[in-house]
Amino acid sequence: MKSFHAPLYEKLEHHANTNPASFHVPGHHNGKSLQFFLQGKDQLKDITDRFNPIMEIDLTEISSTDDLHHPEGPIKEAQRLAAKCFGSDDTYFLVGGSTSGNLALLLTVCKPGETIIVQRNVHKSIINGLKLAGAKAVFLTPQIDESSGLATIPSLEQVCDALLLYPEAKAVFLTNPNYYGISIKLDHYVEAVHRIGIPLLVDEAHGAHYGLHPELPESALAAGADAVVQSTHKTLPALTMGAMLHVQGNRLDTEELRQSLAMIQSSSPSFPIMASLDISRAMVQALGFEMFQPALDAVHSFKRWVNDENMIISVMRWGEASTVTGLRQLDPLRVLLYDQSGQLSGFELLKELEQYGCWAEMADSRYVVLVMGVHTNDSEIEKLKVAVVSIHNKYKNNYNIVDSHQKNSKLTVTTISLNDKIAIGAPVSFSRRNIDDSEIVIRKLRECEGLHSAQMIVPYPPGIPLLYPGEKLTTEIIDQIENLASAGAKFQGVEDITLTTIKVFLNGKKE
């Protein structure tokens, strides 16, 4: 193992070891206020045991620490080491999760009224960033992987076509990988966007570990993306809300970006969160490939075991075939479990696993997503095996494994996809102005061609917004809504669950 050096954490630890008399915020004063209140209250000792070590390094911007918004000491050094580790020109610590990085990027590249090309299936922080920036978004429909029914990113052809249709676009913003660990290699996307002379921005929240082991997918930075947001806390050992924004090249105004970050991030950032980012980077550099190998070995072993046991609970087998264009990459540390007998939806399987102390990241109508950490070992895998065997034994009497493509309400509904004819949307204006009820009317869907939607239409599955407020209803979109409804898709956030009626703007358009 290489030497372990985490300058920000080391500075905080050194300060705590001096037994300082604290006359500054935060109000717990290195945990001493908490200790004073709980002194002699043995029944509450667990509170001090858990919180005091954290509070000892929970400081503010004093001369022995640093200032995130104007780093000159250990924060500057920690960010420099992170940039070197992950391969960027500059790295910025984020204490508000990837959300803060996404917001800052949109405020940096878009002035009010300017256009950006974005894929439809984005995190809500992207939509909020568009509102804050007052930008116009051209939405691209993602590709659907037929073997799993899961959405990836738009095709390269879509991106190129959108750039030709909207040459005024200030950037392209993609989300890669998706929640399920599927990503597309971005090299050709980078080349296409850079030919236009604009930046490619990537929300890589679920890929902070990418590129750090030969078995892991290539990172967006390695592909040449200009700015990449990573949720370090999701897949590396950082505290919740700890994330990083990596930037390279000269297509972004870095001074504008720093100002945007200063607006978005707290003026009193959490030093424990920043220290955990520093520690995560130091672990990556000290351990190298060794950091991920035990977890990868454990996951491979678990997948082989599931395949050999032939139970109703199965692991998603991806195979080589894919209906998406571009080289598909799969995260080996994401495991998708599902009931191949069709008895349990993903939501129901999630609840079953929880009965055995196995808590998964998420579920949908078919899959349960397990995120395996670098700590994952045989003992944890054994606990998961016990849960899987127990669930199998509970439901095996109705054992009737069906082919994954066979018609079944719980299995095939996720394969509902979106129409290629609406692959590239017209620009949609975003603002922080709330929509007044007096501006909206409810009309029959078939009577709304040419009008602008006053609500977001999200068929689930696949969970991809078909319409954002302000988008025009075309014949193709109306047909698609009706087709999805008849196929069994549910629509999130709508009052009329049948979608025979829809809210539209009174004057036919959104101002």
- The span from the first CA to the last CA of the chain, in angstroms, equals 60
Instruction: Judge if 96 and 49 occupy the same domain.
Output: no
Q: Which of 286, 301, 318 is the last residue of a domain?
A: 286
Question: Torsions phi, psi of 323, nearest 5?
Answer: -90, 0
The C-alpha atoms of residue 472 and residue 122 are separated, in whole angstroms, by: 20
CB 339 within 8 A of CB 315: no
User: Is 339 part of any domain?
Assistant: yes
Read off the tokens for 2.
């290489």
Which one, of 341, 321, 371, 366, lies nearest residue 463 by Cα?
366
Instruction: Judge if 247 and 391 occupy the same domain.
Output: no
pLDDT for 331: 95
Instruction: Judge if 264 and 347 occupy the same domain.
Output: no
Report the 3 state secondary structure along 222-262.
HHCCCEEEECHHHHCCCCCCCEEEEECCCCCCHHHHHHHHH
pLDDT digits 0-9 by tens, 164-185: 999 999 999 999 999 999 999 9
Instruction: Judge if 453 and 305 occupy the same domain.
Output: no
* For residues 273-296, average pLDDT: 96
56 vs 221, residue with greater confidence: 221
pLDDT for 422: 67
Instruction: Judge if 147 and 46 occupy the same domain.
Output: no
Read off the tokens for 289.
């490939």
pLDDT digits 0-9 by tens, 322-338: 556 668 899 999 999 99
491 vs 159, residue with greater confidence: 159
Q: Tell me, what amino acid is at 417?
A: S
The C-alpha atoms of residue 131 and residue 106 are separated, in whole angstroms, by: 10
Q: Which of 258, 286, 314 is the last residue of a domain?
A: 286
| CATH number for 478 | 3.90.100.10
Residue 318: is its pLDDT beyond 90? Answer: no
* For residues 137-158, average pLDDT: 90
User: Is 409 part of any domain?
Assistant: no
**The whole model's pTM is what?**
0.88
Instruction: Judge if 265 and 362 occupy the same domain.
Output: no
User: Is 68 part of any domain?
Assistant: no
* For residues 112-130, average pLDDT: 94
Report the 3 state secondary structure along 258-290.
HHHHHHHCCCCCCHHHHHHHHHHHHHHHHHHHH
Q: Which of 233, 268, 286 is the last residue of a domain?
A: 286
Number of H helices and E strands in the chain, helices first, is 16, 20
User: Is 415 part of any domain?
Assistant: no
Residue 21: is its pLDDT beyond 70? Answer: yes
Question: Torsions phi, psi of 56, nearest 5?
Answer: -65, -25
Q: Tell me, what amino acid is at 476?
A: E
Which one, of 42, 25, 103, 488, lies nearest residue 259 by Cα?
103
The pLDDT-based confidence of 432 (bands split at 50, 70, 90) is confident
The C-alpha atoms of residue 31 and residue 278 are separated, in whole angstroms, by: 22
Read off the tokens for 317.
């087998």
The residues with which 201 forms a beta bridge, in sequence order, are: 173, 227
Instruction: Judge if 109 and 192 occupy the same domain.
Output: yes
User: Is 301 part of any domain?
Assistant: yes
The residues with which 173 forms a beta bridge, in sequence order, are: 118, 201
The C-alpha atoms of residue 223 and residue 326 are separated, in whole angstroms, by: 13
Secondary-structure breakdown of the chain: helix, strand, coil percentages, each rounded to the nearest 5: 40, 15, 45
pLDDT for 508: 57
The C-alpha atoms of residue 378 and residue 380 are separated, in whole angstroms, by: 6
Instruction: Judge if 98 and 202 occupy the same domain.
Output: yes
Residue 511: is its pLDDT beyond 80? Answer: no
Burial class from Cβ neighbours inside 10 Å (0-12, 13-18, 19+) for residue 60 reads middle
Strands 334-339 and 362-363: unpaired
**443 SS3 class:** strand
The pLDDT-based confidence of 124 (bands split at 50, 70, 90) is confident
The C-alpha atoms of residue 57 and residue 359 are separated, in whole angstroms, by: 30
Instruction: Judge if 499 and 369 occupy the same domain.
Output: no
Residue 315: is its pLDDT beyond 60? Answer: yes
Instruction: Judge if 279 and 298 occupy the same domain.
Output: no
The pLDDT-based confidence of 487 (bands split at 50, 70, 90) is confident
Which one, of 129, 118, 101, 92, lies nearest residue 170 by Cα?
118
CB 188 within 8 A of CB 200: no
Region of poorest pLDDT, from 114-123, 304-313, 474-483:
474-483
User: Is 411 part of any domain?
Assistant: no
pLDDT digits 0-9 by tens, 75-111: 999 999 999 999 999 999 999 999 999 999 999 999 9
Whole-number mean pLDDT of the chain?
A: 89
User: Is 408 part of any domain?
Assistant: no
pLDDT for 406: 41
What total number of domains does the chain contain?
4
**Cis peptide bond N-terminal to 427, omega within 30:** no
Residue 129: is its pLDDT beyond 90? Answer: yes
Residue 17: is its pLDDT beyond 50? Answer: yes
| CATH number for 234 | 3.40.640.10
Range with top average pLDDT, 18-27, 172-181, 361-370:
172-181
pLDDT digits 0-9 by tens, 376-414: 988 899 999 999 999 999 998 876 555 443 434 343 434
| CATH number for 336 | 3.90.1150.10
The pLDDT-based confidence of 416 (bands split at 50, 70, 90) is low
Instruction: Judge if 161 and 303 occupy the same domain.
Output: no
Question: Torsions phi, psi of 196, nearest 5?
Answer: -80, -20
Instruction: Judge if 272 and 296 occupy the same domain.
Output: no
pLDDT for 421: 57
Considering Cα of 423, then 427, then 433, then 436, what sign does the dihedral take? Answer: negative
The pLDDT-based confidence of 319 (bands split at 50, 70, 90) is low
pLDDT for 322: 58
User: Is 69 part of any domain?
Assistant: no
pLDDT for 192: 98
High-pLDDT (> 70) share of the chain, %: 92
- List the domain range (segments joined by +) for residue 471: 434-505
* For residues 494-501, average pLDDT: 87
pLDDT for 411: 39
